[in-house]
């Protein structure tokens, strides 16, 4: 027995020793990777290759170890400012002979982002350098970007098309009545239609009026931009008679696109690459036989690494408010109010000359929005000038944050406004009564145990909640009135939850001027008394450390195969992709109702200006809600 125990202790000791050795090797390798100098970027003479995989976004989400280990790294994304900086830099880079943009796996872009990327492509072309784009299925946003190229190549099985803006929304009113679920709505604003899907079975006339005006304006801007870049494109013909246009080419989408002047050439990716090789040179980077369609090039990541941003002069901070605003620490990639407020407060130690707040958000939590606004005001109290730069969307809570700026810049296609507040609380007392479940008890007052989503809300709590929402709306009006030098009554006439395009917003005084981030930075520098060229931007909370770079690389490799599933490679796959996105959107709508939250300043219409989120990203979060809906429908 003693011998057996000795052997067992020896085996356990060997096992513990091996585990310890493996851990030491792992952490040793990790330390070596983090402390090693990054390899010199491969800056080659030839083309700048920009592979637009996934959506173009304002801010990249943080990749953590858990996401990589579980395979939940999300879809690939590109940061807009990286693309623009590389395009502008390529115009004056002697090593860059042409720009090649591969949009075969393009995942979408906000309207303003697409316009600004197109403008940067024009800078390259003005420098007498060709820009060649390759795509498979190019919808409105993809076509908007591609139209600024010297040549648009489309895959023989693909095509370009004009889809237009808008579509159908799902209204759950009758379904909720059938399920005996009560949606208690508290709102202020005739046009604040976020709550309508839960209390109606169709769009209200005020909502229809506002949305029609917004979408018509944005689409007119899209049409003007595309035709200015490609005057011979038969956009109006495609819009007026899409079936006739399509059938005239025998149902061949690529040929129909070519006939309408939406694209310039039909060819495979290899043929596109061969055309670029004639301009930029052949790929001689290795001794191996080059793959078909290869050409001499520098990747986007390598170009950015080899051309770091200037750090000279005084620092102007840039804080990004991107995505839905929440109360916590979410982000980057989403706007956690507590996280962003801490970033702004911590900037006090960085001796910033000025602050630019880049807003690309449809809003969200009122308390999260107020936390960000209050932090900005603390910086202003220290004498730091603050300027607002609106991207695709800065509405509802996004506009709440924007009231803190001394000047607001937007683009004509920016979606803003939506000054209104709402809250939705579901209750299930009627559904439970159908199963013989009813609430009863003793209360010392009408507010005891309220709000109760299982046994219902009392009239007193409903009145208090509505009064609180009205008070919040009054506060919103007051903030806007003070910031825009108007009376609350004047603001109320252009508020009421209505959404405006950037051009109209400037006319009615919600924004001050047109311009992108560069214009906002220059204005902030001027307010700080800094001369041109004597400043540099510091992106608050945007540092990407070695560990994050490693994990992002692993995540990108894991996602390489999966991203193909969401790429629209032909007309049929595009339709399938849209079906998946529509299903995911429906489930998200149900999820929003069930997720009881506080007062919200959120803009539903603002989806028109934002990139479409890949269906796979939404479905991963909402599969459980499909089961919930199925169970309720079975009652």
**Burial of 39 per CB tally in 10 Å (0-12, 13-18, 19+):** exposed
CA distances from 244 to 241, 248, 251, 252, 300 (A): 5, 6, 10, 12, 40
Phi and psi, residue 164, nearest 5°: 80, 175
Q: Active-site residue 365, yes or no?
A: no
Q: Using CA atoms, how far apart are residues 477 and 224, in angstroms rounded to an integer?
A: 34
Q: What is the 3-state secondary structure (H, E, C) of 98-110?
A: EEEEECCCEEEEC
Q: Active-site residue 192, yes or no?
A: yes
Q: What is the DSSP-derived secondary structure letter of residue 153?
A: E
Q: What is the DSSP-derived secondary structure letter of residue 390?
A: E
Kind of pairing, strands 421-427 and 182-188? antiparallel
Q: Using CA atoms, how far apart are residues 162 and 242, in angstroms rounded to an integer?
A: 9
Q: Are 499 and 605 in contact (CB under 8 A)?
A: yes
Q: Which helix (H) or strand (E) holds 421?
A: strand 421-427
Catalytic residue among 97, 129, 192, 255: 192
Phi and psi, residue 109, nearest 5°: -160, 150
What are the E-state strand segments in 5-64? 46-51, 54-57
Contacts made by residues 211-215, CB under 8 angstroms, sequence distance 24+: 211/166, 211/499, 211/605, 214/415, 214/499, 214/500, 214/501, 214/605, 214/608, 215/165, 215/166, 215/608
Whether the ω angle into residue 451 lies within 30 degrees of 0, i.e. cis, is yes
Q: Are 99 and 130 in contact (CB under 8 A)?
A: yes
Phi and psi, residue 150, nearest 5°: -70, -40
The dihedral of CA 312, 315, 316, 321: what is its sign?
positive
Q: Which helix (H) or strand (E) holds 132?
A: strand 131-138
**Burial of 122 per CB tally in 10 Å (0-12, 13-18, 19+):** middle
Q: What is the CA radius of gyration of the chain?
A: 27
Q: Are 304 and 48 in contact (CB under 8 A)?
A: no
Q: Using CA atoms, how far apart are residues 583 and 594, in angstroms rounded to an integer?
A: 17
Of the CA atoms within 13 Å of residue 421, those in its CB half-sphere come to 23
**Burial of 488 per CB tally in 10 Å (0-12, 13-18, 19+):** middle
Q: Using CA atoms, how far apart are residues 633 and 635, in angstroms rounded to an integer?
A: 5
| Residue in 610, 611, 621, 609 with CA at minimum distance from that of residue 583 | 621
Catalytic residue among 147, 334, 396, 616: 396
Non-local CB neighbours of 476 within 8 Å, separated by 6+ positions: 400, 419, 420, 421, 495, 601
Identify the bridge partners of residue 315 per DSSP, sorted by sequence position: 536
Give the catalytic positions in this structure: 192, 396
């Amino acid at each position: 027995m003693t011998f057996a125990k000795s052997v067992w202790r020896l085996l356990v000791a060997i096992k513990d020793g091996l585990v310890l050795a493996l851990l030491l090797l792992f952490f040793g390798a990790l330390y070596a990777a983090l402390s090693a100098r990054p390899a010199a970027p491969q800056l080659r003479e030839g083309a700048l290759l920009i592979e637009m995989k996934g959506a173009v976004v304002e801010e990249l989400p943080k990749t953590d170890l858990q996401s990589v280990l579980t395979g939940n790294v999300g879809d690939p994304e590109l940061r807009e400012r990286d693309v623009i900086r590389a395009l502008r830099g390529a115009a004056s880079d002697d090593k860059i002979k042409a720009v090649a943009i591969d949009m075969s796996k393009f995942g979408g872009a906000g309207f303003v982002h697409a316009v600004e990327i197109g403008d940067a492509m024009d800078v390259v072309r003005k420098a007498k350098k060709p820009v060649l784009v390759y795509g498979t299925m190019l919808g409105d946003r993809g076509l908007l970007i591609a139209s600024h190229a010297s040549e648009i190549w489309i895959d023989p099985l693909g095509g370009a098309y004009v889809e237009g803006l808008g579509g159908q929304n799902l209204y759950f009113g009758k379904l909720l009545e059938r399920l005996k679920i009560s949606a208690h709505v508290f709102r202020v604003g005739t046009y604040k239609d976020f709550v309508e899907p839960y209390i109606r079975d169709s769009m209200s006339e005020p909502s229809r009026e506002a949305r029609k005006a917004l979408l018509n304006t944005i689409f007119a801007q899209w049409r003007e931009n595309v035709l200015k870049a490609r005057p011979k494109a038969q956009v109006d013909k495609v819009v007026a008679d899409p079936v006739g246009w399509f059938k005239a080419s025998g149902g061949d989408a690529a040929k129909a696109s070519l006939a309408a002047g939406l694209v310039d050439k039909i060819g495979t990716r290899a043929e596109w690459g061969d055309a670029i090789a004639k301009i930029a040179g052949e790929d001689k980077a290795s001794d191996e036989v080059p793959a078909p369609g290869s050409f001499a090039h520098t990747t986007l990541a390598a170009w950015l690494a080899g051309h770091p941003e200037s750090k000279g002069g005084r620092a102007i901070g840039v804080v990004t408010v991107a995505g839905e605003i929440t109360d916590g620490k979410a982000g980057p990639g989403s706007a956690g109010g507590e996280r962003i407020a801490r970033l702004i407060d911590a900037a006090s130690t960085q001796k910033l000359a000025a602050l630019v707040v880049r807003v690309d958000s449809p809003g969200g939590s009122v308390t999260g929005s107020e936390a960000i606004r209050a932090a900005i005001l603390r910086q202003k109290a220290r004498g730091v000038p603050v300027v607002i730069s609106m991207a695709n969307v800065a509405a509802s809570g996004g506009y709440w944050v924007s009231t803190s700026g001394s000047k607001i810049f937007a683009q004509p296609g920016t979606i803003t406004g939506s000054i209104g507040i709402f809250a939705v609380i579901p209750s299930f007392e009627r559904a439970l009564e159908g199963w013989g479940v009813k609430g009863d008890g003793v209360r010392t007052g009408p507010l005891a145990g309220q709000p109760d989503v299982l046994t219902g809300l009392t009239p007193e709590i409903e009145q208090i909640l509505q009064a609180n929402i009205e008070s919040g709306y009054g506060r919103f009006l007051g903030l806007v009135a003070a910031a825009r030098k108007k009376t609350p009554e004047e603001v109320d006439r252009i508020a009421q939850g209505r959404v405006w395009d950037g051009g109209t917003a400037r006319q009615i005084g919600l924004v001050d001027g047109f311009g992108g981030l560069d214009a906002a930075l220059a204005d902030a520098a001027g307010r700080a008394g800094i001369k041109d060229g004597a400043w540099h931007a510091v992106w608050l909370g945007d540092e990407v450390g070695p560990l994050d770079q490693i994990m992002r690389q692993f995540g990108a490799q894991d996602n390489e195969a999966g991203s193909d599933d969401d790429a629209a490679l032909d007309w049929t796959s595009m339709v399938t992709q849209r079906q998946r996105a529509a299903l995911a959107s429906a489930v998200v709508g149900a999820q929003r109702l069930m997720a009881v939250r506080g007062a919200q300043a959120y803009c539903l219409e603002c989806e028109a200006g934002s990139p479409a989120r890949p269906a796979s990203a939404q479905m991963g979060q909402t599969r459980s809600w499909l089961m919930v809906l199925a169970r309720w429908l079975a009652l």
